[in-house]
Chains A and B, each alone.
Chain A
Amino acid sequence: MADARPEIILTTDRTMMSNHHGKEFIGFMTTGPAIGMPEKLWMWIACPKMKVDSMGRPWQAPYALRKLEALLQDKGYNAAIIDPDYVVRYLPDAKILMLSHHDYFALCPPSSEWWLVTKKEPVNAKSFRNFMNSLPIAKAKERGLKIMVGGPAAWQWLYRPDLMSRWGIDTIVDGEGERIVVDLVERAYSEEPLPRYVFVGPGDVPSIEEIPPIRRPSINGLIEIMRGCPRGCRFCSVTLRPLRHMPLELIEEEMLVNVREGVRSGILHSEDVLLYGAKGIRLNPYALIKLHQLARKHWESIAWSHASLAAIKNAEEEHKLISRLREIICSEGQDYWGVEVGIETGSVRLAKKIMPAKSAPYPAEKWPEVVEDAFAIMHENNIIPAATLILGLPEETPEDVVKTAELLDRLKPYRSLIVPMFFVPMGVLKNKDWFTDVEVKDEHIEVMRRCFWHSVRWAEEIIEKFYLRKSHHAPLRLLLKMFLNYAKRRMKAVEKKLGVAPLEVEAVQVAH
Chain B
Amino acid sequence: MLEQEFFEVWVVGDLGEELVEKLKEKLREAYRRNHPRIRFRFYYDDAQSSLDFEAIRSILLENTRLSVVIEERPFKALESDLGSIGGEVSLLVSKKLVPSMKLPKNSRLKLAEV
Q: Interface residues, chain A, CB within 8 Å of chain B?
A: 155, 157-159, 161, 164-165, 175, 179-180, 183-184, 187, 193, 195-204, 237, 240, 425, 427-428, 430-431
The proximity string for B residues 21-60 relative to A, scoring 1 for CB distances below 8 Å and 0 otherwise, is 0000000000000001100000000000011111001101
Q: How far is the CA of A184 from the CA of B64 in the complex (A)?
A: 22
Q: Are A201 and B53 in contact (CB under 8 A)?
A: no
Contacts of B70 in A (CB 8 A): 195-198
Query: Which residue, A155, A197, A240, has most C-beta atoms of chain B within 10 A?
Result: A197
Task: Check B51–A199 contact: CB distance below 8 A.
Answer: no
Q: B101 an interface residue at 8 Å Cβ cutoff?
A: no
Chain A residues contacting B53 (CB-CB under 8 Å) are 157-158, 161, 164
The answer to whether the Cβ of B78 comes within 8 Å of any Cβ in the partner chain is no
Chain B residues touching A, majority SS: mixed
With both chains docked as a complex, state the minimum distance between the C-beta of B68 and any C-beta of chain A, in angstroms: 4
Q: Are B51 and A200 in contact (CB under 8 A)?
A: no
Evaluate whether A431 and B61 lie within 8 angstroms (CB atoms) in the complex, with A183-B2, A196-B72, A200-B1 already known: yes
Q: Is there contact, CB below 8 Å, between A198 and B69? A: yes
Interface string of B60-99 (1 = CB under 8 A from A): 1111111111111100000000000000000000000000
A159 near B61: Cβ-Cβ < 8 Å: no
Task: Decide if A204 touches B61 in the complex (CB within 8 Å).
Answer: no
Bound-state CA distance A155–B62 (Å) is: 12
| 8 CB-based A-B contacts, threshold 8 Å | A161-B52, A180-B1, A197-B68, A199-B60, A203-B36, A204-B67, A430-B61, A431-B62
Knowing A183-B3, A204-B1, say if A199 contacts B57 (CB, 8 Å): no
Query: For residue A199, which residues in chain B have a CB less than 8 angstroms away from its CB?
Result: 60, 63, 66-69
User: Which residues of B are in contact with A by a Cβ distance under 8 Å?
Assistant: 1-4, 36-37, 50-54, 57-58, 60-73
Residues of B within 8 A of A180 (CB): 1-2
Q: How far is the CA of A196 from the CA of B42 in the complex (A)?
A: 10
Q: Are A187 and B54 in contact (CB under 8 A)?
A: no
Structural contact, B54 and A161, CB atoms closer than 8 A:
yes
- Rounded to whole Å, the gap between the CB of A431 and the closest CB of chain B is 4
A430 to B59, CA, bound (A): 11
Task: Provide the residues of chain B in CB contact with A193, threshold 8 Å.
Answer: 71-73
- The answer for the CA separation of A200 and B69 in the assembled complex, in Å, is 9
Shortest C-beta distance, B14 to chain A (Å), equals 16
What distance in Å separates the Cβ of B102 from its nearest Cβ neighbour in chain A? 24
Q: List 13 additional contacts besides A196-B72, A200-B67, A430-B61; criterion CB under 8 Å.
A: A175-B67, A183-B3, A184-B2, A196-B70, A198-B70, A199-B63, A199-B66, A201-B36, A201-B65, A201-B68, A203-B37, A204-B1, A204-B36
Query: Nearest Cβ distance between residue A200 and chain B, in whole angstroms?
Result: 6
Are B51 and A430 in contact, CB atoms less than 8 angstroms apart? no
Distance of A440 Cα from B61 Cα, bound (Å): 24
Is B64 within 8 A of A204, CB to CB?
A: no
Among A165, A195, A202, A427, contact of B50 (Cβ-Cβ < 8 Å): A165
Q: Are A201 and B73 in contact (CB-based, < 8 A)?
A: no
Interfacial chain A residues near B64, Cβ < 8 Å = 201, 237, 240, 427-428, 430
A203 and B61 form a contact (CB under 8 A): no
Contact partners of A427 in chain B: CB under 8 A = 64
A161 to B54, CA, bound (A): 8
Contacts of A200 in B (CB 8 A): 1, 67
CB of A436 to closest CB in B, whole Å: 15
Q: CA of A193 to CA of B70 in the docked complex: distance in angstroms?
A: 11
In order of increasing CB-CB distance, the 7 nearest A-B pairs are: A203-B36, A201-B67, A161-B53, A197-B70, A199-B68, A431-B61, A183-B2
Closest CB-CB distance, B22 to chain A, in whole Å?
17
Which residue in chain B gives the minimum CB-CB distance to A427?
A: B64
A487 to B112, alpha carbons, bound, how many Å?
60
B73-A198 in contact (CB<8A):
no
CB distance from A235 to the nearest CB of B (A): 12
User: Could you say which of A157, A164, A187, A203 has the most chain B C-beta atoms within 10 Å of its C-beta?
Assistant: A203
A180 to B73, CA, bound (A): 20
Nearest-Cβ distance from residue A353 to partner chain B, whole angstroms: 17
Cα distance A425–B57 when bound, in Å? 13
Nearest A residue to B42 via CB reads A196
Within the complex, the shortest CB–CB distance from B43 to chain A, in Å, comes to 12
Q: How far is the CB of A372 from chain B (nearest CB, A)?
A: 32
List B contacts of A428 (CB < 8 A): 64
B4 partner residues in chain A, CB cutoff 8 A: 204
Bound-state CA distance A200–B4 (Å) is 13
Closest to B52 in A: A161
CB distance from B20 to the nearest CB of A (A): 13
- B58: min CB distance to chain A, Å: 7
Residue of B with least CB distance to A155: B61
Q: Are A195 and B61 in contact (CB under 8 A)?
A: no
- Closest chain A residue to B70 by CB distance? A197
- Bound together, the chains give a CA A187 to CA B67 distance in angstroms of 18
A97 to B90, CA, bound (A): 34
Given A159-B57, A430-B61, the answer on whether A201 and B37 have CB atoms closer than 8 Å is yes
**B65–A202 touching, CB < 8 Å:** yes
Residues of B within 8 A of A159 (CB): 57
- Please, which residues of chain A bring their CB within 8 A of the CB of B61? 155, 158, 425, 430-431
B74 → chain A, closest Cβ, in Å?
9
Residues of the B chain whose Cβ atoms lie less than 8 Å from the Cβ of A165: 50
A241 to chain B minimum Cβ distance, whole angstroms, is: 10
Nearest neighbor of B53 in chain A, beta-carbon distance? A161
Chain B residues whose C-beta falls within 8 Å of the C-beta of A431 in the assembled complex: 58, 61-62
Are A197 and B65 closer than 8 Å at their CB atoms? no
CB distance from B33 to the nearest CB of A (A): 14
How long is the Cα–Cα vector from A197 to B38 in the complex, in angstroms?
12
B15 to chain A minimum Cβ distance, whole angstroms, is 12
What's the minimum C-beta distance from A163 to chain B, rounded to whole angstroms? 11
